A and B are shown apart, each in its own frame.
Chain A
Amino acid sequence: GAVVSQHPSRVICKSGTSVKIECRSLDFQATTMFWYRQFPKQSLMLMATSNEGSKATYEQGVEKDKFLINHASLTLSTLTVTSAHPEDSSFYICSASGLAGGSDTQYFGPGTRLTVL
Chain B
Amino acid sequence: QKEVEQDPGPLSVPEGAIVSLNCTYSNSAFQYFMWYRQYSRKGPELLMYTYSSGNKEDGRFTAQVDKSSKYISLFIRDSQPSDSATYLCAMSENTDKLIFGTGTRLQVFP
Contacts and interface: CB of A to CB of B under 8 A. Distances in A.
B98 A46 contact: yes
Interface string A76-117: 000000000000000101000100000111111111010000
A80 B68 CA distance: 42
A77 B43 CA distance: 16
Interface string B28-47: 00001010100001111110
Secondary structure of the A side of the interface?
A: strand
Contacts of B46: 105-108
A49 interface: yes
Contacts of A107: 46
Contacts of B98: 34, 44, 46, 106
A108 B8 contact: no
Given A41-B8, A106-B98, A111 B103 contact: no
B96 A93 contact: no
Contacts of A109: 43
Interface in A13-71: 32, 34, 41-46, 49
Nearest to A46: B97
B49 A43 contact: no
Nearest to B39: A110
Contacts of A106: 46, 95, 98
A44 B36 CA distance: 11
A42 B2 CA distance: 13
